[in-house]
Amino acid sequence: MIPKRLEFLVSRELPPAQLAEIFSREGHQLFLVGGSVRDALLERSVDEYDFDFATDARPETITRLLESWADVVYTVGALFGTVAARKGGRTVEVTTFRNEVYRDDSRKPHVSFSDDIETDLARRDFTINAIALSLMDMVPIDPHGGLADLGKGVLRTPLDPSISFSDDPLRMLRLFRFQATLGFKPSSSALEAVRSMGERLEIVSAERIRDELSKLLTAPAPGQALSQVVGTGLADHFLPELPALAMEQDPNQRHKDVLAHTLAVVDKASPDLTLRLAALFHDIGKPDTREFGPDGVSFHHHEVVGARITRRRMKALRYPKEITDDVAQLVFLHLRPHTLKMGWTDSAVRRYVRDAGHLLTLLNELVRCDVTTANQRREQAIQNRIDELEERIASLGEKEELARLRAPIDGNQVMAYLGIGPGPKIGEIMGLMLERRIEEGPYTVAEAYQMARVWAVEEGLSDPGPAPDEEE
């Protein structure tokens, strides 16, 4: 009898049942493997548009069989035994049973094929992911006790962890990603292996580390897992700025150190990758700016230093330039609301909105999440300040176009009026016009031309005469 939680997988509308019939006709085994099996057994939501399979068929046979079924087939991974396909919006990957190990100094695995599912499952990262589902009878194949570990909520490797982590060092970081996403507890042997062989992560490409870190950060509550990443020493090999935050004391927070505060902020933030990265890096500049004075410890300009460190680290991790720019800007601006304790003037609101740009909503949330003090009065005062800021933005936005702060005329109009070409001079007058717009609010096109005329005369340029709007 098929367990109720697995019944949907036998539907003729889904790839598992369809492909099982195709492969069995040719005398080949086909098993559903990976996250869809794990999540189905946990009664978690299963993505019905993304399935992974394992088979004894070799890549050329897989390709032929998939071509008889799919809309399109992708063979880019065939050298490693994987053939992908799409049909009706659904994606599948079918992989030949295999072994794979990393050479001591290689960033790419050496792959060899095998003929049985048990060998294939032994190479997988954790026992909870080393369960295969026979698609002919829906019987789980579980040679490593993954079902028991699912019940206990334990992350354990199928082989000795020193072997599993040596075969693919990225599994050490993946251990903590699954801790964060599933809420499972790493086994003591897995943690000990990470402590003793963390340096092996350095042979893994920055792109693979980046992708695993991103998945960890966008888990529901990644703070505890990140703490273990630091505690085992693994962070030293790809994110050394994070353990550096474990300083003796941060006088502005209730936490013992800046690291604990940082992890609390990460947990409070919504699971948006840009926001979570900004939360992770927002105080990254504190170790380099810490000073001891008569009033205690200070971290002057740590947001400036932090933005620079953020760019450097995210570039090393191969994050796209767009997201790197956004995260660095959030780090740079995260203290801005705290500098205006006396209230928000119109010009201050305009400048804040202009500097935040499309990051305004994320910045406001980051500032709110940055409040982790146990002092309820202080926390409420800060939250009230952000409330006031958002109210002022809404109020001023009803009167003027805050989202597009700019001068009434553009650079081309100024150049045509003054009779000069592009260069630093045009940049200077346009900067002055924008500054006036921020400080004073909207003004007319005629006033903008008059401002350009006065500036030109003061700069020793020829008087351009009446502005276009002033001519008869």
- Which two three-digit tokens encode residue 30? 């086909």
What does DSSP say about strands 109-113 and 132-134: parallel, antiparallel, or unpaired? Answer: unpaired
- Which two three-digit tokens encode residue 68? 């008889």
pLDDT of the residue at 255: 40
4-152 against 153-238: fold identical? no
Q: What percent of the chain has pLDDT over 90?
A: 62
Please write the tens of the pLDDT for every residue from 408-451: 999 999 999 999 999 999 999 999 999 999 888 889 999 999 99
pLDDT band for 405, please (50, 70, 90 cuts): confident
pLDDT of the residue at 2: 59
Helix%, strand%, coil% for the chain, nearest 5: 55, 10, 35
pLDDT band for 253, please (50, 70, 90 cuts): very low
Q: End-to-end alpha-carbon separation of the chain, Å?
A: 91
Please write the tens of the pLDDT for every residue from 262-320: 999 999 999 999 999 999 999 999 988 887 777 667 777 899 999 999 999 999 999 99
Q: Would you mind telling me the total number of residues written for the chain in this entry?
A: 472
Q: What are phi and psi of 265, to 5 degrees?
A: -65, -40
Q: What DSSP assignment string belongs to 362-395? A: HHHHHHHHT---S-HHHHHHHHHHHHHHHHHHHH
Q: What are the boundaries of each domain within the chain?
A: 4-152, 153-238, 244-403, 407-470
pTM for this one?
0.85
Burial class (CB in 10 A: 0-12, 13-18, 19+), 310: buried
- Which two three-digit tokens encode residue 229? 């990443």
* CATH no. of 153-238: 1.10.110.30
Give the angle 222-226-229 at the CA atoms, nearest 5°. 145
Q: In the predicted model, what is the mean pLDDT of residues 242-262?
A: 71
Q: Does domain 4-152 have CATH number 3.30.460.10?
A: yes
Contacts of 150 (CB under 8 A, 6+ apart): 38, 41, 42, 128, 131
3-17, 54-68, 347-361: range with lowest mean pLDDT: 3-17
- Are 57 and 68 contacting, i.e. CB atoms less than 8 angstroms apart? no
